[in-house]
Amino acid sequence: MKKIWQVVFLIVGSIIGAGFASGRELSLFFAEFGYASLYFLPIVFILFYYSFKLFLTIGSKIKYTNILDVNKTTNSSIFFNLTIIIVYLIYSSAMFSGSVEVLSSAFIEVPVLIFYIFVFGLSFWVYKHGLKGLFKINAFLIPTIIVLLIIYSLYSTIYPITDIPYIPSSEKAYILPVSIIIYVMANILLSYFILTQAGYNLSQKEIQKSSFIASFIICFVILICIICLITNGAVVMNASMPFVLLTLRLGEPFPIIFMLVLFLGIITSLFSCIHTVCSSFSFKNKNKTALICFSTVLLISLFSFEKIVNYCYPLIGLFGIILIYKFIHSSLPSKTCFQLSNNVIHSARKHTKKKNTSHD
């Protein structure tokens, strides 16, 4: 069971990044549509469950060294692989920018440049030591983030900062189903390599249990957070980091505690994402490769966290739909064709046997 929980926390940790834990992502894809978005959570659960199961299964038999090896199973083009790397660089930049923003909010007196240098150096150090440490970090960190999000959300729901809850525009209601799908697909696109690595040597039962528990935890936290965001009105909804804004009114030490835990949650996503990007290149000098990747991420992160999430995440979600289609298309048809041909052979044999018996 310990092995399953390690996988669960790694999955949840790859989903709960800067966008999720800060509340920005949940405002954009869910709460903006009001309480109607809650009715779609079962669909979110199903999409997450089967996506997790798909990629854990793909990685269960073969240990893939990089994301391009995983993509080979779908006969992906150079353009597709290049797009995946660009997407991961953009997402890493969002995590980088988010982590700096959290630190600068918690420690206003410290120059922002110090935080950029700190995050850059920390990311490089973790990359050199591999992802093994993430299992240990996530085993403690992810439950802490989940508990804090639930506690702060419940408190802010019972004692909202306003008596006027957020009222969604009815004109946008038709976008809700699309928004839900884009949200899930964006997260799967950004975590599918980690999923294949996490699935190595797992049995089918372990894969099913890990997928179910991870999907349930994610959907439960989304439920609590959506209600909180809607209850606290448009001011919180439109904030760059809604949950950071909500914790500020609680007074010390609550904002500092939440921001530090949020920072740790963000950088775990940054570590896993940057590892995915760097491992895609097969250059001999890995340190130089990492330095180029980190420098690119740093430059893109100079755009604001809010802009990256608002404009890039929907596009990432659309590309995620293509990704899922490619993997399903490459795995299902062959199996289906095999089953069909098998059925035809068996039915032919039965027919021959019947003919022989009737002749006798």
Is a pLDDT exceeding 90 seen at residue 306? no
Higher pLDDT among residues 276 and 350, named by residue: 276
Q: Which amino acid is at 126?
A: V
- Indicate the pLDDT class of residue 138, thresholds 50, 70 and 90: low
- Short-list 28, 5, 25, CA closest to 15: 25
Q: How far apart are CA 216 and CA 43, in angstroms?
A: 12
d(CA 134, CA 9): 9
pLDDT tens-digit readout, 149-170: 898 899 989 988 887 777 776 6
Burial zone of 47 (CB within 10 Å; 0-12 exposed, 13-18 middle, 19+ buried)? buried
Banded model confidence at residue 285, pLDDT cuts 50, 70, 90: low
- Angstrom CA distances, 105 to 45, 102, 256, 348, stand at 33, 5, 9, 72
Q: What percentage of residues in the chain have a pLDDT greater than 90?
A: 14
CATH topology assigned to domain 2-359? Amino acid/polyamine transporter I (1.20.1740)
pLDDT given at position 15: 84
**C-alpha distances out from residue 43 to 40, 144, 227, Å:** 5, 26, 18
313 Cβ contact partners less than 8 Å away, ≥ 6 residues apart: 19, 25, 28, 29, 94, 182, 186
- Burial code (b: 16+ CB inside 10 Å, e: under 16) for 253-283 equals ebbebbbebbbbbbbbbbbbbbbbbbbbeee
Amino acid 220: pLDDT: 95
Please give the DSSP secondary-structure letter assigned to residue 191.
Answer: T
Per-residue pLDDT at 32 exceeds 80: yes
Query: In which band, very low, low, confident or very high, does the pLDDT at 212 lie, cut at 50, 70 and 90?
Result: very high
What pLDDT is stored for residue 11 in this prediction?
86
Each residue's pLDDT tens digit, 228-245: 999 998 888 888 888 888
The reported pLDDT for the residue numbered 340 is: 38
Sketch the domain layout of the chain as residue ranges.
Answer: 2-359
Helix, strand, or coil (residue 202):
coil
Q: What residue type is 32 in one-letter code? A: E
Asked if the model's pLDDT at residue 215 lies above 90, the reply is yes
